[in-house]
């Protein structure tokens, strides 16, 4: 009986990281703030289509503005750009391209280095194919049924 439960939790442990990997918290524990090197932060990471970028910051202290390459260099957004201000801004990475984000509050971008540039890659070939994911899910369901029968 205990081994069945262990088996079930082992499957959960295998599945959990692939689910959690879908959301990338910008700046990790530091969140979206000033005087943080987002270029260094982004360097070791892979951004893949289907994942989400999450900008977390105290509401009112910062915001998130999507800009283009020149806006990124000059710390300015074009006139019709929407500003995200929810303190928990989620951006879906839907296409393979370069993306740039800055903070539009005060001189945070210019003086505080609060800007992020990333390149979004196509869906990773290292992620498990759907067939494997399907069979793992099936195993999890089977183990739940087994637990209920015991
Ligand atoms: Cu800011």
Q: CATH number of the domain at 97, please.
A: 2.60.40.420
Token pair 């262990």 in the structure block, residue: 6
CA distance 63 to 56: 9
10-28 mean pLDDT: 71
How many Cβ atoms are within 10 Å of 36's Cβ, its own excluded?
18
The verdict on residue 15 lying in a domain is no
Specify the number of domains making up the chain: 1
Helix (H, G, I), strand (E, B) or coil at 13: helix
pTM check: above 0.85: no
C-alpha 100 – ligand 1 centre gap (Å): 15
Residue 14 lies in a domain: no
| Owning domain of residue 89 | 23-124
- How remote is the CA of residue 20 from the centroid of ligand 1, in Å? 26
Q: Does the structure show a pLDDT above 70 at 9?
A: no
Q: CA-CA distance, 103 to 73, in Å (whole number)?
A: 13
Q: Which of 7-16, 30-39, 51-60 is predicted least confidently? A: 7-16
Residue 102 CA to ligand 1 centre (angstroms):
8
106 lies in a domain? yes
| Inside any domain, residue 75 | yes
90 within 8 A of 52, measured Cβ to Cβ: yes
């Amino acid at each position: 009986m205990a081994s069945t439960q262990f088996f079930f939790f082992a499957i959960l442990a295998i599945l959990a990281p692939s689910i959690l990997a879908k959301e990338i918290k910008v700046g990790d524990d530091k969140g979206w703030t000033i005087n943080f090197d987002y270029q260094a932060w982004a360097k070791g990471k892979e951004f893949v289509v289907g994942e989400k970028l999450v900008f977390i910051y105290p509401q009112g202290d910062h915001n998130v503005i999507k800009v283009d390459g020149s806006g990124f260099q000059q710390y300015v957004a074009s006139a019709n750009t929407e500003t995200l201000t929810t303190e928990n801004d989620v951006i879906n990475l839907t296409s393979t391209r370069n993306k740039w984000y800055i903070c539009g509050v005060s001189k945070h971008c210019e003086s505080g280095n609060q800007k992020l540039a990333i390149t979004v890659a196509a869906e990773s070939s290292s992620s498990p194919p759907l067939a494997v994911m399907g069979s793992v899910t099936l195993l999890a369901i089977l183990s739940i049924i087994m637990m209920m029968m015991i």
